[in-house]
């Protein structure tokens, strides 16, 4: 067997390959660009391109592609081969620095939310040298950012890189105040835990809803759901284990640090967690992971479902965004330190995150909003749509002590003085036990748990980085002018805790009482995409995002439109799929079963005196349900046909929320009831028990 250490990263143009294939001068120059974002010289680009091409061809690649992340949520690629005709009729393989650095895909078929109308239709892709190029399926992939010709971002990478720069800039100001010599940059890191479902491919093919929309639009709960909780961390079935092994190998070849795999709470649900990386690389790797997950599933006769809610009544899938900030010298700024000064610095960064999350609840909520994720956040499932922070009892007690000028712990007599006292030790192990919190401190990082399993992690991190950058800026503005640094620092932390402690909640986030309590605290509860998305255009948010150079005003409005359009389109496709399935599959199947039963009654009655009470009642009830389904289908068809007349995109999204989704629920309720009364042989597609326990 091949050794992992040998094939890990074998398809990646990483440091090792760079060192081996580039001249020292070119390598150093490229490294400078990677580490410090200095502009790249064209002669360096040419040398890198040539080395990349030779390496890729040796690995069997024939094509290259600029790989980018348009607003569709998935990645895009256009493949060009390396071939160039030579005068003598042969071809030679060529790849120039210009081709490496810049690509020009036709931007017109990607969503731009009106940016195209005002700007040129053409866009360009620009190489992101901080994310390594790699080979997949015979093609050299070059991670790129995607912009319009006037420089407006058309993708998720550009604003992500901008947000990382914003937090770098502001965090550096704060670090300077604490006298951190030798720190040159600050970066955020992310480890995204990815949940997914696996279902059998043959069964999947029989369900139009799964094929068309990625989730089941009909389906009654099986007798056994996740009640037994025997799946969570349970032993992994052979077929799934083989899939996971294959997946790991493919990811490892691409240099992705897939680390942990286990079964999740729901049957057929699993999780994969990588080791954390710098945010933009983590984002690229997560997109790649999702693609590879789907592809490897095909080889195993499986389908990998990344939808947030493939099955009603069974836990949905999320993505936990483990986030931290650290210096290039290796200091995690969210890790409590050893000395009083380090502790004060930690508490300041902690306070910054607390304030950022409180001030920008709506931005965080809307950064994870999609039609699919609404099924988790807006419904009775983890985590709720209300944003709150879990800190754990010990850290909360420390903050309370600071806020109230009280001693912390049983033995301390003196009140806590920041910058002077050592922060009391608290055990990190106790911090991670609250699984219901949308934003939990887990010892040396925050875990943002509201992301949907199919979301790109970029949006969440753009808004999180931006919000924290803004608060760090406010802190730095204050502290830079302070006469007595220690006193100002103490006062600032104390005031921040006082002003923002409403966002801290260590209790059970699923509890109904929390919804009421949160309302009393003035926390927002934006249940659907239609509710939260327009908030990105609130003046407070627009001003903040513009001031840090994350987005231009036009970009913000266009993004809002694109996200609402995605919401409307997804639900509309679901509604149409439901109508189709109800009319062509479900109603005819139930009607046939009712008719056959009725005929059986007639036959039985002709030969015996039996009353046939059971069958008669069944036929009656089925007939009532068939009429209900028919009515509900007609109503749903009506909402589909009226959607376009409801007005601008915000109006359309409200129409979807208020009219279309309730109509879908009504049809589903009738159909699911009918399913439980119809003989299995008659039902046109595999039921939940087959899907959930069939692998």
Alpha-helical (H) ranges within 220-278 are 238-253
Residues 264-303 that bind ligand ADP (CB under 6 A): 273-276
Q: Closest approach of Cβ 136 to ligand ADP, in Å?
A: 22
336 near ligand ADP (CB under 6 A): no
Q: Closest approach of Cβ 445 to Mg ion, in Å?
A: 9
Residues that bind Mg ion (CB under 5 A): 320
On whether the CB atoms of residues 488 and 476 are closer than 8 A, the answer is no
Q: Closest approach of Cβ 146 to ligand ADP, in Å?
A: 26
Q: Closest approach of Cβ 214 to ligand ADP, in Å?
A: 24
> Is 502 exposed, middle or buried (CB count within 10 Å of its CB: 0-12, 13-18, 19+)?
middle
* Residue showing tokens 């925050």: 446
User: Which does residue 168 bind out of Mg ion, ligand ADP, none, counting CB within 5 to 8 angstroms by kind?
Assistant: none
Q: Closest approach of Cβ 282 to ligand ADP, in Å?
A: 8
Structure tokens at 151: 């420089």
Q: Closest approach of Cβ 347 to ligand ADP, in Å?
A: 17
Quick one: 45 or 283, whose CB is closer to ligand ADP? 283
Residues 298-327 that bind ligand ADP (CB under 6 A): 322-324
Quick one: 285 or 320, whose CB is closer to Mg ion? 320
248 near ligand ADP (CB under 6 A): no
Quick one: 119 or 441, whose CB is closer to ligand ADP? 441
Quick one: 156 or 285, whose CB is closer to ligand ADP? 285
At CB < 8 A and 24+ separation, what contacts does 224-232 make? 224/267, 224/689, 224/693, 225/266, 225/267, 225/313, 225/314, 225/692, 226/265, 226/266, 226/267, 226/314, 226/315, 229/265, 231/263, 231/264, 231/265, 231/266, 231/267, 231/269, 232/263, 232/264, 232/265
According to DSSP, the residues that pair with 81 across neighbouring strands are 63
Q: How many C-alpha atoms does 549 have within 13 Å on its Cβ side?
A: 11
Instruction: Report helix, strand or coil for 323.
Output: strand
User: Which does residue 401 bind out of ligand ADP, Mg ion, none, counting CB within 5 to 8 angstroms by kind?
Assistant: none
Q: Closest approach of Cβ 322 to Mg ion, in Å?
A: 6
d(CA 444, CA 154): 34
Question: Quick one: which of 444, 486, 488, 524 contacts ligand ADP (CB under 6 A)?
Answer: 444
Quick one: 447 or 561, whose CB is closer to ligand ADP? 447
Alpha-helical (H) ranges within 420-484 are 457-480
* Piece of 24-32, 155-163, 440-448, 604-612 that binds ligand ADP (CB under 6 A): 440-448
* Piece of 9-17, 408-416, 442-450, 578-586 that binds ligand ADP (CB under 6 A): 442-450
d(CA 318, CA 323): 15
Q: Closest approach of Cβ 683 to ligand ADP, in Å?
A: 38
d(CA 362, CA 535): 7
Residue of this chain nearest to Mg ion (CB atom):
320
d(CA 253, CA 296): 13
Residue of this chain nearest to ligand ADP (CB atom):
191
193 near ligand ADP (CB under 6 A): yes
Residues 396-435 that bind ligand ADP (CB under 6 A): 432
Instruction: Report helix, strand or coil for 192.
Output: strand
Quick one: 63 or 320, whose CB is closer to Mg ion? 320
> Is 125 exposed, middle or buried (CB count within 10 Å of its CB: 0-12, 13-18, 19+)?
buried
* Residue showing tokens 């995607």: 146
Q: Closest approach of Cβ 426 to ligand ADP, in Å?
A: 17
Q: Which of 349, 357, 426, 343 is nearest to 390 (CA)?
A: 357
438 near ligand ADP (CB under 6 A): no
Structure tokens at 29: 């120059």
Question: Quick one: which of 189, 367, 558, 566 contacts ligand ADP (CB under 6 A)?
Answer: 189
Question: Quick one: which of 269, 434, 442, 552 contacts ligand ADP (CB under 6 A)?
Answer: 442
User: Which does residue 444 bind out of ligand ADP, Mg ion, none, counting CB within 5 to 8 angstroms by kind?
Assistant: ligand ADP
Q: Closest approach of Cβ 488 to ligand ADP, in Å?
A: 29
Q: Closest approach of Cβ 212 to Mg ion, in Å?
A: 32
User: Which does residue 191 bind out of Mg ion, ligand ADP, none, counting CB within 5 to 8 angstroms by kind?
Assistant: ligand ADP
Question: Quick one: which of 191, 267, 372, 378 contacts ligand ADP (CB under 6 A)?
Answer: 191
Q: Closest approach of Cβ 443 to ligand ADP, in Å?
A: 8
d(CA 89, CA 91): 7
Quick one: 37 or 444, whose CB is closer to ligand ADP? 444
d(CA 249, CA 257): 10
On whether the CB atoms of residues 360 and 474 are closer than 8 A, the answer is no
Number of residues that bind ligand ADP (CB under 6 A): 16
User: Which does residue 445 bind out of ligand ADP, Mg ion, none, counting CB within 5 to 8 angstroms by kind?
Assistant: ligand ADP
Structure tokens at 188: 């955020």
d(CA 445, CA 447): 7
Q: Footprint of ligand ADP on this chain (CB under 6 A)? A: 189-191, 193, 273-276, 322-324, 332, 432, 442, 444-445
């Amino acid at each position: 067997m091949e050794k992992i250490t040998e094939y890990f990263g074998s398809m990646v143009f990483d440091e090792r390959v760079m060192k081996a294939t580039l001249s020292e001068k070119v390598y150093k120059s490229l490294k400078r660009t990677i580490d410090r974002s200095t502009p790249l010289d064209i002669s360096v680009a040419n040398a890198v391109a040539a080395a990349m091409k030779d390496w890729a061809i040796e690995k069997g690649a024939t094509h290259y592609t600029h790989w980018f992340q348009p607003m569709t949520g998935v990645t895009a690629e256009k493949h060009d081969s390396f071939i160039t005709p030579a005068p003598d009729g042969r071809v030679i393989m060529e790849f120039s620095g210009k081709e490496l650095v810049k690509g020009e895909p036709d931007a017109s078929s990607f969503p731009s939310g009106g940016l195209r109308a005002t700007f040129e239709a053409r866009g360009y892709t620009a190489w992101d040298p901080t994310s390594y190029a790699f080979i997949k399926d015979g093609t050299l992939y070059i991670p790129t950012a995607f912009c319009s010709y006037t420089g407006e971002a058309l993708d998720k990478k550009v604003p992500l890189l901008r947000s990382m720069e914003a937090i770098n800039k502001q965090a550096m100001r704060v670090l300077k105040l604490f006298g951190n010599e030798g720190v040159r940059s600050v970066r955020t890191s992310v480890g995204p835990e990815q949940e997914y479902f696996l279902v059998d491919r043959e069964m999947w093919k029989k369900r139009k809803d799964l094929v068309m929309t990625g989730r089941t639009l009909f389906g009654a709960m099986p007798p056994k759901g996740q009640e037994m909780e025997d799946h969570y961390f349970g032993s992994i079935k052979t077929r799934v284990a083989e899939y996971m092994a294959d997946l790991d190998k493919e990811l490892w070849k691409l240099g992705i640090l897939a680390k942990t795999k286990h079964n999740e709470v729901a049957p057929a649900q699993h999780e994969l967690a990588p080791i954390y990386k710098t945010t933009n690389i983590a984002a690229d790797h997560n997109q790649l992971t999702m693609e590879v997950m789907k592809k490897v599933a095909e080889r195993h006769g499986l389908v990998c479902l990344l939808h947030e809610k493939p099955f009603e009544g069974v836990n949905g899938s999320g993505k936990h965004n483990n986030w931290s900030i650290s210096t290039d010298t290796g200091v995690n700024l969210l890790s409590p330190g050893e000395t009083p000064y380090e502790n004060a610095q930690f508490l300041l960064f902690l306070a910054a995150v607390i304030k950022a999350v409180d001030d920008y609840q709506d931005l965080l909520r809307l950064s994870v909003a999609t039609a699919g994720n609404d099924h988790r956040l807006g419904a009775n499932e983890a985590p709720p749509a209300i944003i709150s922070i879990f800190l754990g009892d010990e850290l909360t007690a420390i903050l309370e002590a600071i806020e109230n000028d009280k001693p912390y712990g049983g033995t301390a007599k003196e009140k806590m003085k920041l910058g002077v006292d050592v922060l009391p030790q608290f055990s990190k192990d106790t911090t991670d036990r609250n699984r219901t919190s949308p934003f939990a401190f887990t010892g040396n990082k925050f875990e943002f748990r509201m992301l949907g399993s199919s979301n790109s992690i970029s949006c969440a991190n753009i808004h999180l980085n931006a919000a924290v950058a803004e608060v760090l800026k406010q802190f730095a503005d204050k502290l830079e002018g302070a006469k007595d640094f220690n006193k100002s620092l103490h006062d600032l932390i104390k005031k921040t805790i006082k002003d923002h402690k409403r966002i801290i909640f260590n209790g059970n986030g699923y509890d109904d009482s929390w919804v009421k309590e949160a309302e009393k605290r003035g926390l927002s509860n934006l249940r659907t995409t239609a509710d939260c998305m327009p908030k990105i255009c609130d003046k407070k948010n627009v001003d903040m995002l513009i001031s840090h150079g994350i987005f231009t005003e036009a970009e913000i409005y266009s993004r809002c439109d694109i996200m609402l359009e995605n919401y409307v389109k997804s639900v509309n496709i679901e509604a149409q799929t439901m109508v189709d399935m109800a009319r062509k599959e479900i109603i005819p199947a139930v009607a046939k079963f009712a008719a056959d039963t009725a005929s059986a009654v007639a036959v039985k009655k002709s030969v015996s005196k039996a009353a046939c009470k059971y069958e008669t009642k069944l036929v009656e009830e089925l007939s009532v349900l068939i009429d209900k389904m028919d009515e509900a289908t007609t109503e749903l068809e009506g909402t589909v046909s009226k959607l376009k007349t409801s007005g601008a995109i915000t109006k359309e999204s409200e129409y979807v929320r208020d009219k279309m989704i309730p109509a879908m629920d009504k049809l589903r309720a009738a159909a699911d009831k009918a399913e439980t009364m119809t003989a299995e042989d008659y039902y046109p597609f595999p039921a939940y028990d087959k899907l959930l326990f069939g692998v």
